[in-house]
Chains A and B, each alone.
Chain A
Amino acid sequence: GAGVSQSPSNKVTEKGKDVELRCDPISGHTALYWYRQSLGQGLEFLIYFQGNSAPDKSGLPSDRFSAERTGGSVSTLTIQRTQQEDSAVYLCASSPTGGGWDGYTFGSGTRLTVV
């Protein structure tokens, strides 16, 4: 597609439920990043994919968080047993390997609210 697409745009879930957030990167972009943005905060790195592998998972806050990427394209971020502190906007970015930073493109995010 023309840009990075994230779905859903908004998600309200009950505490303790599992949620899946989806990211469709720009076609041909080999690198994919997940960030979390809490209210009034900057972005917090979660995980980086190069192709289907995740060489850097250092930002995942707990073992309730996991992510996968299949076919070098779509990625899913899963949060199990959601807690209220998981409420945030989850942003995905994709990038070609190499090249300028103008190719590093963000989606509009998924706003997650845990009630």
Chain B
Amino acid sequence: GQQLNQSPQSMFIQEGEDVSMNCTSSSIFNTWLWYKQDPGEGPVLLIALYKAGELTSNGRLTAQFGITRKDSFLNISASIPSDVGIYFCAGQLNAGNNRKLIWGLGTSLAVNP
């Protein structure tokens, strides 16, 4: 099925470092979302982006909706051990009631205390 190109695939960082990950697509997306998934749980929404160029923060997290509507990035500042998990980007192709999402393959983040 269709997927987004998400990178990097994994990251191993020291506590306190900043993190950056991104997603790209050949298709134009109507909405970009960033999720975090902990083991044995479903994904939990971190940030939703609705407009091209939009820059949104949620605590130490910042995400942007690319101007071309084909990419997005997520930054985490001053990482802490509880940031460990898998981060996914997801996009909605079309507006409307069908909120089918297309997903990246995830970025696995490990934080060394």
How many chain A residues touch B (CB < 8 A): the figure is 29
B52 within 8 Å of A (CB atoms): no
Which residues from A are CB-within-8-Å of B105?
Answer: 40-42
A101 contacts B42, C-beta separation under 8 Å = no
Instruction: Specify the chain A residue showing the minimal Cβ separation from B6.
Output: A42
Is A33 a contact partner of B42 (Cβ separation < 8 A)? no
The answer to the question of A67 belonging to the interface, with a C-beta cut-off of 8 Å to chain B, is no
A108 sits at the interface (CB 8 A): yes
Which of B42, B88, B98, B106 gathers the greatest number of chain A CB atoms within 10 Å? B42
The stretch of B43-51, B59-67, B74-82 in contact with A is B43-51
A 1-24 contacts with B by CB, 8 A: 4
Q: Indicate if the CB atoms of B99 and A31 lie closer than 8 Å.
A: yes
B33 touches A45 (CB 8 A): no
Measured in the bound complex, the distance between the Cα atoms of B101 and A104 in whole Å is 11
- Taken together as a complex, chains A and B put the C-alpha atoms of A55 and B90 apart, in Å, by 21
Question: How long is the Cα–Cα vector from A59 to B40 in the complex, in angstroms?
Answer: 23
**A104-B99 contact given A4-B42, A40-B105, A42-B105, CB 8 Å threshold:** yes
Binds B, one of A68-76, A77-85, A91-99: A91-99
Whether A102 and B42, one on each chain, are in contact in the complex, defined by CB atoms closer than 8 angstroms, is no
Residues on B with beta carbons closer than 8 Å to the beta carbon of A106: 42-44
Complex Cα distance, B13 from A50, in Å, reads 42
Measured CA separation A80–B14 after assembly (Å): 47
Give chain A residues whose Cβ lies under 8 Å from the Cβ of B33.
Answer: 101
Assembled-state Cα–Cα distance A110/B48 (Å): 26
Q: Verify if B25 is at the interface (C-beta below 8 Å from A).
A: no
- Output the nearest chain B residue to A3 by Cβ-Cβ distance: B42
Given that A42-B88, A102-B48 are contacting pairs, would A59 and B42 also be in contact in the complex, using a CB cutoff of 8 Å? no
Closest 6 CB pairs of A and B: A106-B42, A42-B103, A101-B48, A43-B103, A42-B105, A45-B100
Contacts A4-B42, A42-B4 supplied; 11 other A-B pairs, CB < 8 Å = A41-B105, A41-B106, A45-B100, A48-B100, A50-B97, A59-B1, A97-B97, A101-B45, A101-B48, A106-B42, A109-B40
